[in-house]
Amino acid sequence: MNTTAQVPRPELSAWSEEYWEQQALPALYEYTRVPCLSPEYDEAWVEHGHIRRAAEQLSKWASDRPIEGLSLELRELPGLTPVILAQVPASGEHGEAEAPVLLYGHFDKQPPLGSWREGLGPFEPVREGDRLYGRGTADDGYSIFAALGAIELAQRSGRGHPRCIAIIEGSEESGSPHLPAYLEALGERLGEAGPSLVVCLDSGAASYDRLWTTTSLRGLLGATITVKVLEEGIHSGSGGGLVPDSFRLLRQLFSRIEDEKTGEVLLPACRVEVPAGRVREAAELAALVDDADRFPVVEGLRLGNGAGAAERLLARSWQASLAYVGIEGLPPIEEAGNVLRPYTKAKIAMRIPPSSDSKKAAEELVEALTSDPPEGAEVRVEDLVPADGFDAPETAPWLAAAARAASEAYFGAPSGAMGEGGTIPFLSALLSSYPSAQFLVTGVLGPESNAHGPNEMLHLPTAKALTACVAHVLSQVP
């Protein structure tokens, strides 16, 4: 067991560079070509076989890694997307009886979502200098390469690592509905006390000049809301003025849950007090980076209703927000006639504060939208998926020291901490089950990485440095 903090080995930078260029990138290119959309975006995912194809390709690559003691499984429960499960016994100064480290990532993808710029496409890898473009490169295809690469480098350094379990799942972009069954099956391997450290490789970075750790993530409510007024469309001149327009009624309903002037979410469960430590953290982050630079906004757009930098950071990490991500029932403009349509259906993604109870918020959402329907219209709330957020426990001194030293050694700057606005359901489940675990939540989704949008990009120097950082952290687990 390692009991004394060690200086990061400088050789890890060169080793990680070699590993990524010669071993990881060729396999990552191959993976990028697979349109393995998450089940929410491909109802026929079983028939299409893309998820299984990606899992098999990544498993084959992983099974050939020169990692001492590596045991690899491609597990597939009936009706669920497969997971890649890698186990490696303790090495170096670490004892096999110690609590394991759990490393997490996913390989399912978002759809293309929009037009990619000329020369790029979602399922064809394109490297331009330090950038690798393609859907899933950064979110989160790189994760299996970083996870196993870190274990491999920790062994190569001679300092070793505790027993490691890596799980790479295939349903995260759908809210990880298939993961709990695998975690339950994995429980015996984790032991009663669970992991000593959870390394999650699916988060963001405020910049590419240091290792960023994520201290909180918002929860999520996904739902579709339908307002129906007719059994079939009718002439707008005939029915207009008597039959209410379904879009107008849907707009009224949304005013029950969101202030349309400020964007404030009105559900009581989404009103929380931001912890003082997270407020200080946002102020420190604002002094390091301009978070507004992350987004390709139109000229003149006012962010956060004109709030200052620290307030903007808290707005996108601790404040609830509502996005209207899809709409149905409206024809394309070139096909639009003068018709009162039968219904309007919208899909929403509501981000909720890290400490909010997602199930309570979901109940409030349904009550607000379905009670006393406007004009007596038919209102349905369907496909409701609540997911809790994550607020990390206090970082242990050893982990803080290891992350800082690794960042200084391999990025050239101290590590930074930040709250993120996205959701990783896996983390809240793990924290609930194993409250004594430590968490290193990190990732490569920095400026212009554009996860979920067109032109997704992996910043390769960050992936290489992050892999070296995780290797050092693994070697320092007490």
Residue 321, classed as helix, strand or coil, is strand
The amino acid present at 344, given as its one-letter code, is: T
Q: How far is CA 435 from CA 7, 54, 364, 391, 400, in A?
A: 29, 33, 28, 11, 18
Listed in sequence order, the residues at least 6 apart from 267 whose beta carbon sits closer than 8 Å to its beta carbon are 257, 320, 361, 364, 365, 368
pLDDT at 156: 96
Task: Give dist(CA 385, CA 388) in Å, integer.
Answer: 10
The pTM of the full predicted model, rounded to 2 decimals, is: 0.91
- Which DSSP helix (H) or strand (E) runs through 127? strand 126-128
Q: Which domains does the chain have, with CATH numbers?
A: 11-217+390-476 (3.40.630.10), 219-292+311-387 (3.30.70.360)
The closest of 98, 281, 277, 107 to 197, measured between CA atoms, is 98
CA dihedral of 366, 369, 370, 376, whole degrees rounded to 10: -170
Contact yes or no for 418/318 (Cβ under 8 A): no
User: Do 30 and 141 form a contact (C-beta atoms < 8 A)?
Assistant: no
Cis peptide before 357 (omega within 30 of 0): no
pLDDT of residue 191: 84
Q: List, for the chain, all residue ranges whose pLDDT scores fall below the cut of 50.
A: none
d(CA 267, CA 417): 29
Give the containing element (helix H, strand E) for 309: helix 309-315
Residue 417: partners with Cβ closer than 8 Å, 6 or more residues away: 212, 213, 214, 215, 281, 284, 285
